[in-house]
Amino acid sequence: METETMTIIDESGKEIMYEIVLTFNSDETNKSYVIYKLPGEENDEVFASSYNEDNKEGGDLLPIESDVEWDMIEEVLNTFLDEEEK
């Protein structure tokens, strides 16, 4: 399976490549989310942001705004990881 990646430009202008772990849409928040991590299997730290899925040419990642969103993202990620283990 080919790994999807995205490049993020940090505050200092440096380009950093991340692996996309999962993308999903939430009817609850009417937002799209991406969960991503630095490449390499030894790295378990993941990041999450919302984004505008209509912008096909790239765009801004937006911060997660509430604990409710974080809880939902964590639940989706845990479900995804449980399914991957099967």
Please write the tens of the pLDDT for every residue from 58-74: 678 999 989 999 999 99
Q: Is it the case that residue 38 has pLDDT exceeding 60?
A: yes
Reported pTM: 0.85
Q: Is it the case that residue 41 has pLDDT exceeding 80?
A: no
Which of residues 76 and 56 earns the better pLDDT score?
A: 76
Q: What Cα–Cα distance (Å) separates residue 35 from each residue in 12, 50?
A: 22, 9
Residue 2 region by backbone torsions, left for phi larger than 0, else alpha for psi between -120 and 50, else beta:
beta
Instruction: Map residue 71 onto helix, strand or coil.
Output: helix
Please write the tens of the pLDDT for every residue from 16-34: 999 999 999 999 999 999 9
